[in-house]
Chain A
Amino acid sequence: MDNPLLSVRDLRISFHGAAGVFDAVRGVSFDLGREKLGIVGESGSGKSMTGRAIMRLSPPAAIVRAEHIRLGDIDILQASERTMDAIRGRRIGLIMQDPKYSLNPVVTVGEQIAEAYRIHARSSVSDARQRAVAMLGAVQIRDPERVYRMYPHEMSGGMGQRIMIAMMLVSEPEILIADEATSALDVTVRLEILNLLNDLVEKRGLGLIFISHDLNLVRRFCDRVLIMYRGRVVETLKAGELDQATHPYTRGLLEAMPRIHVPRKRLPVLKRDAAW
C-alpha cells in the first residue's frame, strides 16, 4: 500500500508468568489506509492486544516487539511519552471493549466528552458543552441534555458504548480503533452509528480498524478483513468476498453462524487444528 496511515510489521506480544511464556500475538503485519479494515477472530486470539499496542497501552506485564508500528514518520514503539500523549485520543482514538471501565466513574459522561473536545480544539467551556451535547445526539442518545449530566454507572450497555464512540469522535482523530464498539447496540441504532463512521471514512479520510465478531456486519460494512487465530493473521480478504474464504478456521466461522431463515437443531462447531 502506498502511504498508509498506519503500518504494523511483525508485531509480537508475550507475557512472562509463573507458568512460562505466553505468546498472545505472534507476528502480525498489516497496513491501514483511508478505509474500513475489519478484524475478526477467535476469542483470545490477540485482537484487543493488537489494538492496544498501536496506542502503546499494553498491560504493564506485556512485552511488545515489532519491526515497526509506524504512524506517518513516527515509530510508535520508539516515540517519547510526550509524543504519545499528543497521539492518543487526538491522532488515534481507541474505543475499548469494556467502555464503562474506560470512563471516569466520578465525572458525568457529558463533561468527559466536553473535556476531550476542549483539549483537542482549545475551545471555551460553553462551546465544548454544546459540542458534547451535539455529539451525544449524533450517536443517537435520546434526551442528550439529560444524559449529559449522568454518570457512567447510570448508562445501559449500549449507551456506554455510544458515550465512548462520542468521546473518541469529538476530537476528530485520523485513525479510529473500534474494539467491539457496536456489540451492545440494537440493530437500528447500530445502523445509524455505522453510517456516521462510514461518512467519516468517505468524507474526511478516517482510517478505521473495526474489531468485531459479527461476520455479517463485517462483510457488509468493511472494505477488507483480517482473520486472526491464535495470535496470527491466518487470512486477509476483501470483506465482500468473505464467503470465498479458504482457511479452515474462517470456513468454520461461517458455518457456525446462526441464520435467521435456516433453522438448525444444533450449530456446527469447529475442530481446532493445532497446525493452523
Chain B
Amino acid sequence: MVNDNMTSQTPIIEIQNLVVTFGEGDDERRAVSDVSFSVNRGETFGLVGESGSGKSTVLRAITGLVSNQADVMRVAGEDVRARRGKDFYRKVQMVFQDPYEALHPRHTIWRQLMEPARILHIPDAEARGHAALDSVGLSRTLLWRYPHQLSGGQRQRVAIARALMSQPDILLLDEPTSALDVSVQAEILNLLCDLQDESGLTYLMVSHDLGVVAHMCKRTAVMHAGMIVETLDVDALINGGATKSYTKKLIAASEAYGEDPRDIAQPRASSN
C-alpha cells in the first residue's frame, strides 16, 4: 500500500495532451491520443487497459524512445519535449514489457549491469550490482550466463535489477511481474514498496493484473484505443465506482476468470 507520508502533492511526472503517431500517409495512425495525467512524488500510479491501447507507447514517449508531441511533458523536473539532460537516465529508468528488448543478447548478466553503470558514472557499481541481484532473488551462479540461457522470469528479474542500479527517482514499470510466479512476484512487489518507503521512489506501473494494481497503486488510469477513458482511485475501481462502460467490462471480465468469489464476498477493509 502507498505510504502517505512520502507522497507529496508535487507532480514529478506531468503530461498534457500527449500524442504519438506511427506510420505515414494512408497508414498513419494515432497510437496515443491526447493523453494527460500527473503522478506525485512517491506515488505509485497504475496504467491499465486494453491490449494495444498505447500503454507501452506512453512509457516509451516519456523516455524518448518514440517521437511525440505534447503540450506539457515535465518529468523529474525537466521539460523533456526538447531533449533530455545528461542526468535524465540516472533519474528515470524503465523496465520493459519484453525483457529481451532491454538486454544485450551477447553480454553476460554481469555485463548487463556493469555497462550502464559505467556510462552513467555510477559509483560502487560492483557492490550495487551484487545487492541488486540479491534483492531480486537471482543466484550468483547466473552471473556469467547470457540472456538466452535464463528462464523468462530470470530474464525479467535481471531487467529489474538493472533498472535499480542507478538508484533512480522514477521507475517506469511495464508489466514488471507478468513472467514471475506469485511467490517471486510477492518478493519483487515487497521490494518495490520498501524502496518507496525508504527513498520516496515514484512508480508508473502498467499491469493487466487488477490484484497487483489494487495492491500497489492508489490511483490508476484506464486506457482504451489510445485514450485515457478515466482516471480513478483504485478503491473506487474495484468497488464498483467505475463510470465508463469499458472500465466496467474490464472489472467484469476480471471477475469471470479472476479471483475466487469467496474473496470478493469479503468486504475490503479500508487501506492503511
B-contacting residues of A (Cβ < 8 Å)?
15, 18-19, 40-44, 48, 59, 61, 97-98, 100-101, 142, 146, 154, 156-159, 162, 180, 183-191, 194, 213-217, 219-221, 243, 249, 252-253, 256-270
Contact = CB atoms under 8 A, between A and B. Distances in A.
Nearest to A149: B27
B176 to A, nearest CB: 12
B253 A269 contact: no
Given A43-B157, A156-B56, A217-B257, 12 more contacts: A15-B149, A180-B179, A184-B175, A256-B185, A258-B189, A259-B211, A260-B211, A261-B214, A261-B263, A261-B266, A262-B266, A267-B215
B182 A256 contact: yes
Interface residues of B, number: 65
22 contacts: A42-B183, A59-B148, A159-B51, A162-B51, A184-B178, A186-B48, A186-B51, A186-B208, A186-B250, A187-B257, A190-B253, A190-B257, A213-B178, A213-B185, A216-B211, A216-B258, A253-B182, A253-B183, A260-B263, A262-B266, A262-B269, A267-B185
B151 A44 contact: yes
A261 B238 contact: yes
B183 A270 contact: yes
Contact of A216 (B181, B189, B260): B260
Contacts of A190: 208, 253, 257
Most buried by B among A159, A183, A249, A258: A258
Contacts of A40: 181
Most buried by B among A42, A186, A190, A267: A186
B259 to A, nearest CB: 6
A43 B179 contact: yes
Interface in B105-157: 141, 144, 148-154, 157
B49 interface: yes
Contacts of B259: 216, 259-261
Interface string B238-260: 10000000000110011011111
A13 B152 CA distance: 17
A97 B151 CA distance: 9
Nearest to B29: A146
The 5 A-B pairs with the shortest beta carbon distances in the complex, nearest first, are A158-B51, A43-B153, A267-B186, A256-B186, A258-B215
B19 to A, nearest CB: 17
A185 B51 contact: yes
B102 interface: no
B141 to A, nearest CB: 6
A264 B215 contact: yes
A216 B159 CA distance: 26
A50 to B, nearest CB: 12
Given A44-B153, A187-B253, A261 B179 contact: no
Q: Which of A15, A48, A180, A259 has its CB near the most chain B CB atoms (within 10 A)? A: A259
Given A157-B97, A180-B179, A267 B189 contact: yes
Contact of A266 (B150, B190, B268, B271): B190
Contacts of A48: 151-152
Contacts of A194: 257
A221 B263 CA distance: 18
A187 B178 contact: no
A220 B190 contact: no
B233 interface: no
Contacts of A264: 215
A263 B52 contact: no
A98 B214 contact: no
Contacts of B186: 256, 258, 267-270
